[in-house]
């Protein structure tokens, strides 16, 4: 962290902010608090301007080419699972999915729209590399292939792709933000809506949640959400096995089985 001390000055108190990359830090001096990150995407500036992430204070380029961004470090809390059924979450996701500015920026950064067929290709490669078949994965792949044409949605928007409650920040001033945009894609909005509704909202309340979001629960949207939730679960289950996490792998297989039963009951 010496480079940060040189950048800010020795009077700043700097501490790691965690995260997978280890490139995020907190800094504090005289009551001013900053969240610093190395080599954030230029996308951050647009997210800040749109009020979706905490305000970007400055951006500085280091001599070695690294770019450091500083955002306001706001006091608050992560959302709890029960908070995800709120008006504020629905409105924030609608704002993101309908933002032309966010979409234009991702396109300028060279992002191509996500193709659902790529999931099937990946899954097939994983499954074929296995030494023995697993019925839950074979059934999931069969379902995904069978309904591939049904998820070729013409609507492609900016999707966060990890709307877990831990990525939502509610400040002490009651301002809501969605953070951690490293996995953002141009994709079918169902890629965000499916995991959110399946994991956090009772199915009988899906219609009212989607009304607050600005949409309605059509048969096609229901199918697309199911498709992406199943695809995500199949991929994460295989990743657990690849990492040697047998407990996570078997838990994933159980969840896949329960999901397939749910989808069979709904058809």
Domain parsing of the chain, residue ranges: 2-73, 78-266
Residues marked as catalytic = 162
| Helix, coil or strand: residue 234 | helix
CB-count burial class (<10 Å; 0-12, 13-18, 19+) for 82: exposed
Structure tokens at 109: 């950064």
**The CATH number fitting domain 2-73, selected from 3.40.50.11060, 3.40.50.1370, 1.10.10.60, 3.30.200.20:** 3.30.200.20
Task: For the chain, give percent helix, strand, coil, nearest 5.
Answer: 50, 15, 30
Q: Which residues contact 239 (CB under 8 A, 6 or more apart)?
A: none
Tens of pLDDT along the chain (267 residues)?
566 666 777 788 888 876 555 578 888 888 788 888 887 788 999 999 999 999 998 888 877 788 888 888 888 999 999 999 999 999 999 999 999 999 999 999 999 999 999 999 999 998 888 778 889 999 999 999 999 999 987 789 999 999 999 999 999 999 999 998 989 999 999 999 999 999 999 999 999 999 999 999 999 999 999 999 999 999 999 999 889 999 999 999 999 999 999 988 765
Is the entire prediction scored with pTM above 0.85? Answer: yes
CATH 3.90.1200.10 assigned to domain 78-266? The reply is yes
- Distance of alpha carbon 195 from alpha carbon 185, whole angstroms: 15
Q: What's residue 24's pLDDT?
A: 82
Phi, psi of 250 (to 5 degrees): -70, -35
Q: What's residue 112's pLDDT?
A: 95
Q: What's residue 111's pLDDT?
A: 95
Residues 89, 84, 158: CA angle, nearest 5 degrees: 45
DSSP string, 146-176: HTGGGG--S--EEE-S---GGGEEEETT--E
Q: Which residues contact 27 (CB under 8 A, 6 or more apart)?
A: 4, 8, 12, 13, 14, 33, 34, 35, 36, 70, 73
């Amino acid at each position: 962290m010496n480079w940060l001390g040189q950048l800010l000055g020795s009077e700043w108190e700097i501490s790691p902010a965690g995260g997978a990359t280890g490139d995020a830090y907190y800094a504090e001096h005289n009551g001013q608090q900053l969240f610093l990150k190395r080599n954030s995407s230029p996308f951050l500036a647009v997210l800040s301007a749109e009020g979706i992430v905490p305000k970007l204070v400055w951006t500085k380029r280091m001599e070695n080419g690294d770019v450091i961004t500083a955002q306001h470090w706001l006091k608050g809390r992560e959302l709890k699972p029960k908070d995800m059924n709120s008006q504020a979450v629905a409105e924030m996701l609608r704002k993101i999915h309908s933002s032309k500015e966010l979409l234009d920026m991702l396109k300028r950064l060279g992002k191509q729209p996500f193709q659902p067929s790529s999931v099937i290709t990946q899954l097939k490669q994983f499954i074929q590399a296995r030494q023995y078949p697993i019925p839950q994965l074979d059934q999931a792949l069969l379902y995904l292939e069978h309904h591939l044409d049904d998820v070729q949605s013409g609507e492609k928007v900016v999707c966060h792709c990890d709307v877990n409650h831990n990525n939502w920040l509610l400040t002490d001033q009651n301002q809501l933000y969605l953070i951690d945009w490293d996995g953002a894609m141009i994709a079918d909005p169902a890629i965000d809506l499916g995991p959110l509704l399946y994991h956090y909202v009772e199915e009988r309340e899906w219609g009212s949640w989607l009304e607050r979001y600005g949409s309605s629960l059509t048969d096609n949207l229901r199918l697309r959400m199911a498709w992406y939730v199943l695809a995500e679960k199949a991929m994460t289950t295989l990743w657990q096995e690849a990492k040697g996490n047998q407990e996570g792998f078997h838990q994933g297989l159980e969840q896949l089985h329960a999901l397939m039963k749910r989808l069979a009951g709904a058809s």
